Structure 1
């Protein structure tokens, strides 16, 4: 099984060749080692070309010449050595190769031998440098070569000039490969950038979803737990006030209120989880309470001891706006029950003005106890308002108490938290 996996993971020969072509030679792994092997192969090829050359002294062909002596062999082999460093210093390598090849040709040695090494040096310059530098380098090499051949034989110099198309072809090939690599590199960069963008978008969506879940659970649990706490305190007070004359009816009512609050919280929590699961699978199983759920919020707050006076003059609103208004009122009533003192007077008002749902929740309480750690209620309400393009202000009133006001556009198309 492991051998099969490795066999599948190993790239094919064609893929490895294309990878080598696409990759910048200056960043290729084991570049010096590969160039050393290439240098040895080119030197062997040069020796074979010299040994297999005509060597009959006919002056009408450029690929002929005398068999090199000791100095010729030394120059020929030495011209290959700089190729080991062709990736690091292409221009210096080309200059060194030309400096060794020119005297080799000047002594009228076999002219085919150093040709592959010279072409490799030219190609390296073309594939790693700018086109202008490549053209100047090619023109310089051609000029130096023709000048050197003129010292040997004018006819051979003209023949070299005639077949200079090979030099131009090598340079153009290098330039073309360079542009191709730049094109492939730009495609890879765009693909990597797109992938990073997708990953960042996925992380952003996960963060938003976590924030939405945290806000939903906070709104639900904070409200229910606060009511349960108040109702439990009522029951405990009744039990401790006069044990001999226990008001069983009051205790039973408080416990019934606690049970009812727990049932409501459990049902809403189930609805919240259903909506979350539905959004995960791309289906919907019904929105959370909107404006039609405000009556239940008012009754729950009254059971906790608050004297709530609702005035709702808006009956319909987009689902997102209705859900945001519901959650804002829920959190405002929770804060009033928790912080406004015993039996606070709370006024809840909703009306439509200038294409927006205006919401106001005021109480006459004393506000949070000094030193109380701040929670996430106000932050959550502001986020609820922003989610539908609205605004929210909250703070102490001038004459005492606390006030929450929100303006939620009824034309909002933002669906971000429309179901929660």
Structure 2
């Protein structure tokens, strides 16, 4: 309990309370009119002089304009003024319209700091206690007033914590989306830039002996650069909030065939697709494509003396399996952890799947992944 009270005492004000708008002005005008109407309608039954309750009821309505930005100050102004009014009329003010002061009490715990809420609650409690001590309120009225004030404070605190929980959830969603876009950006850039680097090396090696082959390499570099720019523009649109990221077109299983049949240096890529892959959910298809793309890129970079990279995607009723292997003399153990393998594992884990990578049984390096075919 002590820790709870201490945490509330140290609670700062919310960063960005809603600004004052036309609705606040309309509310003040409506309550002021209601106070005038009630005052004239009950003029004979209000404590004498009746003008005091009416003036206080109407005159305090502007405190609602600053209830979010200065809740403690508005509380310190409103409740002592009501106490002075009770002294002038020698009893309770009796104006029902003054119930709008509960909005000020609510704002203490909703928009004020922890200290402001404590001090403001103490001011309201002191006013109720004083009214009871001088005989302006009956015991039943004291209990009812304390209960209503406590309820207003509790509702304000509950809405405050609810808003904070929603903000935390929203920040987590944004973080997950940023991680997803970071994985896509890494995979796209790594794949296309790696291909361009390989083509450029080949073009330089054949520039003097085979100029036509060097020209072919330049054309392939241009194609890879165009694809990389197109995918990066798609991601930039998502980052700039012009388009929801989950509605952007993602890679499809059929796009894996683009990995195969390329001419030039480096190992050839063979793609094998087995099973009904047309009906895969978009998230599964995109993940399989990204995993295959990253695995092929890593094989081109690190598989020494490799002549062939094999990409196999097999599906049944429940699972989609990916296997990417090469016949090179790759490392016998993984190198330092980078973003590639970590991103591959994150992708698979988000869909309830798994990724394993390690040396092949006889040679090379093998990456295997298994994803559930049905994804919520």
Normalising by structure 2, we get a TM-score of 0.63
Equivalent of residue 250 in structure 1, options 202, 209, 213: 213
- CA spacing shift, 1:233–1:124, aligned 2, 3 Å: farther
- Cα distance, 1:322 vs structure 2: 0.6
Residue 339 (structure 1) aligned to one of 281, 302, 309: 302
Asked if the contact 1:341–1:365 (Cα under 8 Å) also holds between the matched residues in 2, the reply is yes
Q: 1:362 to 1:281 in 2, by over 3 A?
A: closer
> Which whole-Å CA distance do the structure 2 matches of 1:361 and 1:284 have between them?
27
TM-aligned CA deviation for residue 218 of structure 1: 1.0
| 1:247-296 deviation line (CA, Å, top 9, x unaligned) | 2232222222222222332333344456x389744598762221010011
Distance 1:187 1:303, change over 3 A: farther
Matched residue, 2:141:
173
User: Are positions 1:358 and 2:321 aligned together?
Assistant: yes
Q: Secondary structure at the match of 1:205?
A: helix
Alignment of 1:98-247 (within 5 A): 121=130, 123=132, 170-239=138-207, 246-247=209-210
Q: Answer yes or no: is the 8 Å Cα contact 2:202–2:264 preserved in 1.
A: no
Distance 1:392 1:45 in 2: 80
Structure 1 residues 120 and 196: alpha-carbon distance in aligned structure 2, compared to 1, 3 A threshold: closer
CA–CA distance in structure 1, aligned partners of residues 186 and 239 of structure 2: 18
Aligned to 1:291: 253
C-alpha deviation, 1:308, in angstroms? 2.1
**Alignment correspondent of 1:144:** none
Q: Secondary structure at the match of 2:266?
A: coil
Three-state SS of the structure 2 residue aligned to 1:219 is helix
Query: Aligned equivalents of 1:188 and 1:341: distance in 2?
Result: 65
Q: Aligned pair in 2 of structure 1 residues 257, 210: CA closer, same or farther (>3 Å)?
A: same
Query: Aligned pair in 2 of structure 1 residues 375, 124: CA closer, same or farther (>3 Å)?
Result: farther
CA–CA distance in structure 2, aligned partners of residues 271 and 40 of structure 1? 66
Pick closer, same or farther for the CA change 1:349–1:340 going to 2, 3 Å.
Answer: same
* Greater Rg by CA: 1
Q: Answer yes or no: is the 8 Å Cα contact 1:356–1:408 preserved in 2.
A: yes
Q: 1:313 aligns with which of 274, 277, 282?
A: 274
Give the match's secondary structure for 1:411: coil
Inter-CA distance 232–281: structure 2 relative to 1 (3 Å threshold): closer
Compute the displacement of 1:325 (Å).
0.5
Give the conservation status (yes or no) of the 8 Å contact 1:324–1:384: yes
Cα distance in structure 1, aligned partners of 2:369 and 2:342: 13
Relative to structure 1, is the Cα distance of residues 267 and 392 closer, same or farther in structure 2, using a 3 angstrom cutoff? Answer: same
**Counterpart mapping for 1:316-327 below 5 A:** 316=278, 317-327=280-290
* C-alpha contact 2:355 2:368 (8 A) present in aligned 1: yes
The Cα shift of 1:389 comes to: 2.4
Matches within 5 A, 1:66-85: none
Q: Mean Cα displacement is larger for which, 390-399 or 404-413?
A: 390-399
Residue number in structure 1 paired with 2:55: none
Q: Distance in 2 between matches of 1:370 and 1:385?
A: 21
User: For 1:144-201, what per-residue CA distance to the aligned partner results, in whole angstroms no more than 9, with x for missing partners?
Assistant: xxxxxxxxxxxxxxxxxxxxxx79x622111111111111112111211121122112
CA distance in 1, matches of 2:308, 2:372: 28
CA distance in 2, matches of 1:361, 1:398: 13
> 1:37-80 CA distances to partner (integer Å, 9 max, x unpaired)?
969995x999xxxxxxxxxxxxxxxxxxxxxxxxxxxxxxxxxx
Aligned residues: 288
Once the two structures are overlaid, the 10-residue window that deviates more, 327-336 or 370-379, is 370-379
Which whole-Å CA distance do the structure 1 matches of 2:260 and 2:64 have between them?
Answer: 74
CA apart distance, 1:319: 1.2
Change (3 A) 1:385 1:189: same
Counterpart CA distance in 2 for 1:318 and 1:235 is 40
Kept in 2, the 8 Å contact 1:291–1:322? The answer is yes
Cα distance in structure 2, aligned partners of 1:283 and 1:401: 36
Q: Structure 1 residues 373, 279: CA separation in 2 closer, same or farther (over 3 Å shift)?
A: same
Matched-pair contact (CA < 8 Å) for 1:360–1:406: yes
Question: 5+ residue gaps in structure 2?
Answer: 1-20, 29-58, 91-121
Cα deviations by residue, 1:303-345 (Å, 9 ceiling, x for unpaired)? 4511323221033212111111011000000000011124442
SS of match in other structure, 1:379: helix
Question: How big is the alpha-carbon RMSD for the aligned residues of Structure 1 and Structure 2?
Answer: 4.4
